[in-house]
Chains A and B, each alone.
Chain A
Amino acid sequence: MTDVKKTPSNSRLTRAAGATANWADERTSIGAFTKFIARKIFPDHWSFMLGEVALYSFVVLLLSGVVLTAFFVPSMEPVVYDGTLPQFAGQEMSKAFESTIHMSFEVPGGLLMRQIHHWAALIFTAAIVTHMARIFFTGAFRKPRELNWLIGFTLMLLSLAAGFTGYSLPDDVLSGNGLRIIDGVIKSIPILGSYISYWLFGGEFPGEHLIPRMFTAHVLLIPAIILGLIAVHLFLVFLHKHTQYPGAGRTNKNVVGLPLFPVYTAKAGGFFFVVFGVIVALAATLQINAVWNYGPYDPSPVSAGTQPDWYMLFIDGALRIMPGSVEYVIGGYTLSLNVLIPAVIMPGLFFGFLALYPWIESWATGDRGERHILDRPRNAPVRTGLGVALISFYVVLVLEGSNDIVAHLFHLSINDLTIMFRILVFVVPVLAFIITKRIALGLQRKDRELVLHGHETGRIVRFDNGEYIEVHEPLTEQERWVLVSYDVLRPHELAPEHNDRGVRRRGYRWERFKAALSRFYFEDRIEPVTPAQLRAAQAAHHAQVEHAASDNVES
């Protein structure tokens, strides 16, 4: 018996795996799908991980959220606290707040799950925003990805909705006042405001319906839509294949990188666990949303230094910055522009601009081709400038949204600070645009220098005639390609208003607008080095060297 070869266990494992695969394939054709997917190529760059952070923190949200639903009671029914937390002894509170306190203190790991969920939510929204910024600055929204930009944009809005509905569920003083602010904003909407408020709250604020309703939205409606859109988002990523940064051998017709299996299975799969681990590390060590310090919601108290979660700060800042003198009464009806402009119109324009941006830029470029090679931000100076201007506008509003804290920290007058921000909110974005555009153009010029004259080597050479020069090392072909391969877009030529028979052309105004937009984008531009220019530069260098050498001979 000893000479009978025992089948090694791994081959038994292989056979079992083969049988399972066969069983599955005969029922689902999964073989063909695996063939398609396993060696699919993805390019590598750290900035491509931002979207992954968003996806993985969403998974962490789902996992921790399921645990929380086991203990949270989504009810506004009042109860008298009978737990052991001394500051609430005998106090009336909603079941929602009571169950939040209970799971925080009486359930081992309950507080940890709450903190994981809250930290994951903050990171989720932050990751979406930074991912979106990456897409924006590299031009990854261009054809054929405009739809996926819109889907991502919708996901961003949904993440804010998910965040806000979740933040409000514990029914504490801080989130309750946040809801009251939302109620005030809704009421400012002309004609329908009171009715929308009544519909949302099921009556007057705060009512008894809002938390159960927000709970359903928060655990079912919004995550279901997010999941569905994530599926479409990722499907389109696979369909379009990932964009890639410019580089030698990377063309508009290929994608260069490493295969999904095994490299990205390990890297991206491993990265999920890293994101999870980092979120848990935050949750284990940094307290967040300590609702027992705020107390249950009561319409009367409020605390100083109240801040919403970070993603709502810019709207809160806009509410703070707006002067109150623009409330008008027209024919007996009240138009509260001091609320409507900052909390409805401003976010509407801000988000509307973001949603439409791919089309705005395509009017300017008139570009109809597919674009799979990413722009280096410097090679799109106006787009980069606009993006930075938008971010700076956002940051000014975020700072204004924390004006009480800023004033306190820096010992400034809160009124002076607000007046200053009223000016800065207009001035800073304009300056940011101009400065960023100039920096981008400067960097392009630097790229030209580098291509024409090569790297500085630090090697100083002295000629016999006494002249010193630094030796420059020319770029490799691959290095040079990165710096010269971008497309230069030039402003449209506007055809004359009247055709040769003197008849005014249809659509002339629209074309004129597009031409103006195109000038705004492409008037100032730096063209990449051409081979002829490079040859000329090199010839000049040689002439110099020869000149120096001949000087030497003469002397």
Chain B
Amino acid sequence: MSIDSASDAPETTEDKFTDPGLPEHHRPRRADTNPAAAKRAEHQVAVLFGISAIGTIIAIWAWVTSDVGADNIAGTQRSTMFIGLGIMLAMLGIGTGAIHWAKTLMRDHEMVEERHDMRSSEEARAGAIENLVEGAKDSGVGVGRRGLLKGSLITALAIAPLSILVPAIGNMGGDWKVSKFRHTIWRKGTRLVKDPDGIPIKAADVTIGSVFHVIPDGLNELEEGKLEEKAKAVVLLIRMDPADIKHVKGRENWSFDGIVAYSKVCTHVGCPVALYEQQTHHLLCPCHQSTFDVSDGAKVVFGPAGRPLPQLPIAVDDEGYIVAQSDFHEPIGPSFWERLK
């Protein structure tokens, strides 16, 4: 239930209200009516600008007295903090001062500006068309007998960028040997060594439940392409109780006494699959949580990866060191279109 305390209904005839227009009166601010308030606002603005100047001095002082260095972390932190706070004051002082000035002292009566349609006037449009028609006539194209000119110009313009783009793009791809994606530097007899120090691993050193981050022997000595080869060749070496291992058909002799080696590069988008859970034999990629079961051919048990991690066939050489039997039998890492070709 409600009641209106005013009785005069608006005088509108159609089914729509009419715009009452801008309110007549302007609500004055304190500084508009009280000179003391205006004076106070003026002082406040000046103080804010003053704070800015002090901030500049603090920043320069902090820089001059900086004592930084990797062996002086506290000094670096202090310098960062005080130069920063100085700049902050220098900026905020100006900013808040200017805004305070605008909000308290500048005239705040709303003003009106007319708008015009974006569409040009009819005369302007007609004039534009006329000019274009005349120009086209002057060029001879509009007459219709110059189709050859038009066609050849458009063709030339369309293909001319290729004169720059083809060499540029061609150069940027280096040797374009995309088949390199398929191979790594693992060879028959390459020793599995620890990442990053390159120490070879004896089968006897690998206790059940342990995991080694492995690179191929000789990688660290590569002159060229070390990181590229490492990005493909990194391997995880894991030993489980042989009874826990489910052998994939055809790979029965790829492991040694419960020791298996799998590519460390995720088959999803290539992150290193670095987290090993001893109890479940699961390998987890920390980037997107693809989970692989190492005891069962590293097949995917969860997450966005589509394929198992490739297995590196291993054996033990005469001196008891773990070696590769060959390269991986499939391309490592994320899928690509011609992966299986």
Q: B124 on the interface (CB 8 Å rule)?
A: no
Q: Which of B88, B234, B266 has a CB less than 8 Å from the CB of A284? A: B88
B5 on the A face (CB < 8 A): yes
Instruction: Give the distance to chain B from A387, nearest Cβ to Cβ, in Å.
Output: 26
CB of B291, distance to nearest CB on chain A (Å) = 8
Interface residues of B in 228-250 (CB under 8 A from A): 228, 230-232, 234
Q: Tell yes or no: B309 within 8 A of A by CB.
A: no
B3 contact from A107, A199, A471, A531, Cβ within 8 A: A471
Q: Decide yes or no whether B139 CB sits under 8 A from chain A.
A: no
Min distance, Cβ A178 to any Cβ of chain B, angstroms: 9
Binding site for B on A (CB under 8 A): 39-41, 78, 83-85, 101, 104-109, 111-112, 115-116, 144, 177, 180-181, 183-185, 187-195, 197-200, 202-207, 209, 213, 239-241, 248-249, 251-259, 262-263, 266-267, 269-278, 280-281, 283-285, 297-306, 316, 319-327, 329, 332-336, 338-339, 342-343, 370, 372, 403-404, 414-415, 418, 453-454, 461, 469-474, 477-478, 480-481, 484-485, 530-532, 534-535, 538, 541-542, 544-545
- Contact A320 B114, beta carbon cutoff 8 Å: no
> CA of A527 to CA of B50 in the docked complex: distance in angstroms?
55
B306 touches A336 (CB 8 A): yes
With the chains together, A555 CA to B57 CA distance in Å? 83
Q: Is B326 an interface residue (CB 8 A)?
A: no
Query: Which residues of A sit under 8 angstroms from B14, Cβ to Cβ?
Result: 531
Pairs of residues from A and B, 4 with the lowest C-beta to C-beta distance, nearest first: A284-B84, A184-B269, A270-B98, A273-B95
Query: Do A184 and B10 form a contact, CB below 8 Å, given A204-B181, A320-B304, A532-B15?
Result: no
Are B304 and A324 in contact, with the CB atoms below 8 A?
Answer: yes
Q: Determine if B162 is an interface residue (Cβ-Cβ < 8 Å).
A: no
- Could you give, for residues 7-45 of chain B, a 1 whenever the CB lies within 8 Å of some chain A CB and a 0 otherwise? 101101111110111110000000000000000000000
In this assembly, does B141 line the interface, its C-beta being within 8 Å of a C-beta of chain A? no
The smallest beta-carbon distance between A216 and chain B, in angstroms, is 12
Chain B residues with CB under 8 A of A545: 3
* Complexed CA–CA distance, A453 and B20 (Å): 19
Is the CB–CB distance between A320 and B102 below 8 Å? no
A209 to B174, CA, bound (A): 10
- Nearest CB on A from B150, distance (A): 28
Assuming the contacts A107-B68, A109-B83, A300-B234, asked whether A195 and B173 have C-beta atoms less than 8 A apart, the reply is: yes
Bound complex: CA of A300 vs CA of B175, how far in Å? Answer: 25
CB distance from A368 to the nearest CB of B (A): 11
Q: Across the interface, do B271 and A108 meet the contact criterion of CB distance under 8 Å?
A: no
Given contacts A299-B227, A470-B2, 18 further A-B contacts (CB under 8 A): A112-B84, A115-B80, A184-B266, A188-B336, A190-B337, A192-B337, A198-B174, A263-B107, A276-B95, A281-B92, A284-B85, A284-B88, A302-B272, A324-B268, A370-B118, A453-B2, A453-B4, A480-B10
Complex CA–CA separation, A339 to B287 (angstroms): 14
A-contacting 9-mer, from B69-77, B127-135, B203-211: B69-77
Q: Could you tell me if B92 and A258 are in contact, using CB atoms closer than 8 angstroms?
A: no
Complex formed: what's the CA distance from A274 to B48 in Å? 12
- In the assembled complex, 10 residue pairs joining A and B whose CB atoms fall closer than 8 Å, in A order, are A83-B70, A240-B118, A249-B19, A262-B106, A281-B92, A285-B81, A320-B304, A339-B334, A404-B286, A472-B2
* Chain B residues whose CB sits within 8 angstroms of the CB of A85 once the complex forms: 70
In the complex, chain A residues whose CB is within 8 Å of the CB of B173 = 195, 198-199, 202-203
Check: B251 CB closer than 8 A to any chain A CB. Answer: no
**Choice from A253, A277, A336, A415 contacting B95 with Cβ under 8 Å:** A277
A530 in contact with B16 given A271-B99, A303-B286, A339-B269 (CB within 8 Å): yes
Residue contact A187 to B334, C-beta cutoff 8 Å: yes
A329 to B340, Cβ gap below 8 A? yes
- Judge if B142 is at the interface, Cβ distance under 8 Å: no
Contact A193 B108, beta carbon cutoff 8 Å: no
A209 and B85 CA atoms in complex are apart in Å by 38
* Interfacial chain B residues near A254, Cβ < 8 Å: 112-115
What separation, in Å, do the CA atoms of A262 and B117 have in the docked complex? 27
Q: A270 to B231, Cβ gap below 8 A? A: no
Shortest CB distance B99–A (Å): 4
Q: Is the CB of A207 within 8 A of B98?
A: no
The verdict on A274 contacting B16 (CB below 8 Å), with A370-B118, A470-B2 known, is no
Query: Which of B96, B108, B111, B266 is close to A274, meaning CB atoms less than 8 Å apart?
Result: B96
A285 touches B286 (CB 8 A): no
Supposing A414-B289, A477-B20 touch, asked if A319 and B84 sit within 8 A by C-beta, the answer is: no
Which of B16, B84, B115 is within 8 Å of A252, CB to CB? B115
